[in-house]
Chain A
Amino acid sequence: AQSVTQLDSQVPVFEEAPVELRCNYSSSVSVYLFWYVQYPNQGLQLLLKYLSGSTLVKGINGFEAEFNKSQTSFHLRKPSVHISDTAEYFCAVSAGGTSYGKLTFGQGTILTVHP
């Protein structure tokens, strides 16, 4: 079975500052990793994904994440945030075998960008 831990439930930051949202996962098999964003009263929007290859993954809206297999982490970063980045962010994993296609989510990190 897989599990995901998002280490911060809330992250406040000022506009134009850098931000890192932390995600650790646990799995006995190789995994695919995802970050999704959810704006109020909306569904989830895919920010980026790691399937294989380069461990540094670039996504939409200037976000990037780095897969670290030894530390089982997949932290999300943005060098300069905007007010419009205020939202809840979810890290998720999926694995092979019979769980193929099932996403396991972390509890979410609420990012609040202050002017």
Chain B
Amino acid sequence: KAGVTQTPRYLIKTRGQQVTLSCSPISGHRSVSWYQQTPGQGLQFLFEYFSETQRNKGNFPGRFSGRQFSNSRSEMNVSTLELGDSALYLCASSLAPGDTQYFGPGTRLTVL
């Protein structure tokens, strides 16, 4: 069974731009969560989706948003990029909320 896939793997943007990251969960998994990983703040929870509904949201500004489609694929969007948004963005999928989460390889975002 294929694992969690994330596209693109690497991305370079400039301040003020916006970006969309994509995540395809493991087949049959219906819950998708997003995390941001930075050297300074470590791994921080962004949001969780299940059945196209956001169930939980972390402590991030409104510039960070996401959605989930009927096939469980998910996207996250960051608008008006700031230098501090440079990070590895990890997506994780699980069968349902609370089940074990399996992570994708991440998207490395660099904001110049």
Contact = CB atoms under 8 A, between A and B. Distances in A.
A8 B26 CA distance: 33
Interface residues of B, number: 26
Contacts of A36: 103
Interface string B29-73: 001010100000011110010100001101000000000000000
Given A43-B90, A90-B43, A105-B42, A100 B101 contact: no
A40 B35 CA distance: 17
15 contacts: A32-B98, A43-B105, A46-B101, A90-B43, A92-B43, A99-B56, A101-B48, A101-B55, A101-B99, A102-B45, A102-B48, A103-B33, A103-B101, A105-B42, A106-B42
A43 B92 CA distance: 9
A101 B100 contact: no
Which of A32, A43, A104: most chain B Cβ within 10 A? Answer: A43
Given A44-B90, A101-B55, 15 more contacts: A34-B100, A42-B105, A42-B106, A43-B90, A44-B92, A44-B103, A46-B101, A90-B43, A94-B98, A100-B97, A101-B101, A102-B48, A105-B44, A106-B42, A108-B42
Contacts of B94: 101
Contact of A101 (B42, B98, B103, B105): B98
B104 A107 contact: no
A48 to B, nearest CB: 10
A24 B53 CA distance: 32
A43 B100 contact: no
A96 interface: yes
B104 A43 contact: yes
A96 B98 contact: yes
Interface in A55-80: none
Contacts of A108: 42-43
Q: Which of A34, A46, A99, A101 has the most CB of B within 10 A?
A: A101
A43 B106 contact: yes
B45 A46 contact: no
Given A43-B103, A49-B100, A101 B33 contact: yes
